[in-house]
Amino acid sequence: VAPRAAGGFVAALQDGFWVVGDGPAARIAAIPEAGPGLRFNDGKCDPAGRFWAGTMTYDAALGAGALYRLDPDGQARMVLDEVTISNGLAWSLDGGTMYFIDTPTQRVDAFSFDGVTGEIGDRRPEIHLPPEAGAPDGMTIDAEGGLWIALWGGAAVHRYLDGRLDQVIELPVSQPTSCCFGGASLDELYVTSAREGLSAPRLRAEPLAGALFRVRPGVRGLAPAVFADA
């Protein structure tokens, strides 16, 4: 979900994009590829108010997902195919670069980004994460341009600045899933986590698995972009 300028939220659901939380739910656009084995996994608005969200299959089949863009006029377009687990999104402070995570690649990829048209191009690896650090999941960017990445299986959130590891926040759970900034001064980092797939002994060892955490990392974040439909 992402906040919507006209009220409520825009959401990526099983069959496409919807408006929720401000009166009756209403579908904005269907996704032709939608089906019972496919689901959306992560989404975020770009600085111009377009909503981006990507898919994956429930069994994480290689290359079976895609990344979509919902424009303010209600048109949904596939912008990237052959995605396995579509995950974190962020845009550079100058608006000229989009960052994207397809989890099994163990990378953050950068694309040139046209803020006027929403088109992307010139894909290139920006950050390589070693498998022993965990799998890159959700992501956000701070006011200094640092990328914060939740590491599924890594029990941590890493901050990368100019492509290099700059800060590590360790957590008492093995499966952090995403992160975003909040608080009155946007100086608090909120981190979600998951219990999914953990055995009973593992859950006893991680009683906080599935909890939401708040950290003050010493840097401020950015206010979230909102979906720009009328």
Catalytic residues: 137
Q: How far apart are CA 151 and CA 131, in angstroms?
A: 10
Q: How far apart are CA 147 and CA 164, in angstroms?
A: 10
SS3 8: coil
Q: Which amino acid is at 197?
A: G
* DSSP letters spanning 158-209: EEEETTEEEEEEE-SSS-EEEEEEESTTS-EEEEEE--TT--HHHHHH-TTT
Scanning the chain, the segments in alpha helix (DSSP H) are 200-205
Q: How far apart are CA 104 and CA 60, in angstroms?
A: 9
